[in-house]
Amino acid sequence: KKKKKKKKPIVCLIIGMAGSGKTTLLQRLNSHSHQHKIPSYILNLDPAVAKVPYSPNIDIRETVQYKEVMKQYNLGPNGGILTALNLFATRFGQVMGFVDKRAEEVKYCYVDTPGQIEVFTWSASGQIITETFASSYPTVLVYVVDTPRTVNSPTTFMSNMMYACSIMYKSQLPFIIAFNKVEVTSHETATRWMTDFDAFQEAINQDKSYMSTFTRSMSLVLDEFYKNIRTVGVSAATGLVRFDFPQITRN
């Protein structure tokens, strides 16, 4: 008899710039999971957050005291977050043990990351955590973008896309861009810029700064990157989330 394959949850690593709405989006996904009785597992990896609007199954703050780390090692805020994450990563085998016990029961494992994106995406501890998840479960990176700030400036848009591109190729994992705060500004402009080269060039032509030349040349380079990217518009604050979002991650 063939052995049944063990069910594996999809791990969604939620990353993005500070203020993009990562934690609020996770709260909305958590509410959606409860409402539709979708079994999910939540990890909070931000040691410096004062409160989270959801109840995580595993919380880094219960293991590492961020302020104590700052005092003990004489560090600033960013150094404290990075060191706390490094200390937590040394015990990540135990974390995986807890996730493994629930693996056959849950469909999704959502991971909230620190507000300072570089602390997670460019640190050794962030790489260890990402690769550990990816080696055991299907893992997706969800890059949350502040839509109003992005579509108001082609240069800001390009900065976001370059960062997204570098993270995707560094991690080599499936990648979704979640354009957040669409209740304020629609993400249609951003998606049009990704699919219509001429529309983006027209927007750049209105910018007379020296950065526009660089942005124009980079748009040619990123054209191939856009073809491999899934995008979704979300409003974590109001709940106007396209809730085929979990299905997009599953695809």
Tens digit of pLDDT for each residue in 30-53? 998 898 899 999 999 999 999 999
pLDDT at 1 over 70: no
Band (7; pLDDT cuts 50, 70, 90): confident
Task: Look at residue 135 and give its three-state secondary structure.
Answer: helix
How far apart are the C-alpha atoms of 84 and 81, rounded to whole Å? 5
User: Helix 66-73 and helix 77-89: axis angle, to 10°?
Assistant: 110
Whether the Cβ atoms of residue 125 and residue 46 lie closer than 8 Å to each other: no
Average pLDDT, the chain: 89
For the stretch 77-136, pLDDT in tens is 999 999 999 999 999 999 999 999 999 999 999 999 998 899 999 999 999 999 999 999
CA torsion sign for 151, 44, 91, 177 is negative
For residue 243, pLDDT beyond 80 = no
This prediction's pTM? 0.91
**What is the rounded distance in angstroms from the CA atom of residue 3 to the CA atom of residue 182?**
45
pLDDT digits (tens, 9 = 90+) for 153-208: 898 999 999 999 999 999 999 999 999 999 999 999 999 999 998 999 899 888 77
